[in-house]
Amino acid sequence: MIGRLMVPRQITYQKATQDRINFTSEVLGSMKAVKMLGYSDTFTKLIETKRDNDINSGKQFRLLNVWANVISKHIHIDVVD
């Protein structure tokens, strides 16, 4: 059941992470132009916003991941005892 809940949240988290990585890569590839035009602060804020979005979109996935780990550890402990 938890696995079915995790998949869409993991996909959302991965898409947000990939979006941030692609954007950061593009900015770093164009760093000379960014610096020459004086857009360093603007792009820094955009990257920070993308990182915040990345973290926020992954909260539900990470929470479910923790619950899955707790449940599996609890079952393991019950079997051993």
Within-domain flag for 10: yes
Number of domains in the chain: 1
Within-domain flag for 19: yes
Give the whole-angstrom CA distance, residue 64 versus residue 29.
Answer: 36
Within-domain flag for 81: no
Which has the minimum average pLDDT: 10-19, 29-38, 51-60, 72-81? Answer: 72-81
Domain coverage including residue 26: 2-76
Helix (H/G/I), strand (E/B), else coil: 50: helix
- Amino acid found at 57: S
pLDDT at 76: 54
Within-domain flag for 54: yes
Radius of gyration of the chain (CA): 19
What are the tokens at 54?
């990345």
CA-based nearest residue to 5, from 49, 54, 64: 64
Within-domain flag for 57: yes
Whether residue 46 has pLDDT greater than 90: yes
Whether residue 75 has pLDDT greater than 70: no
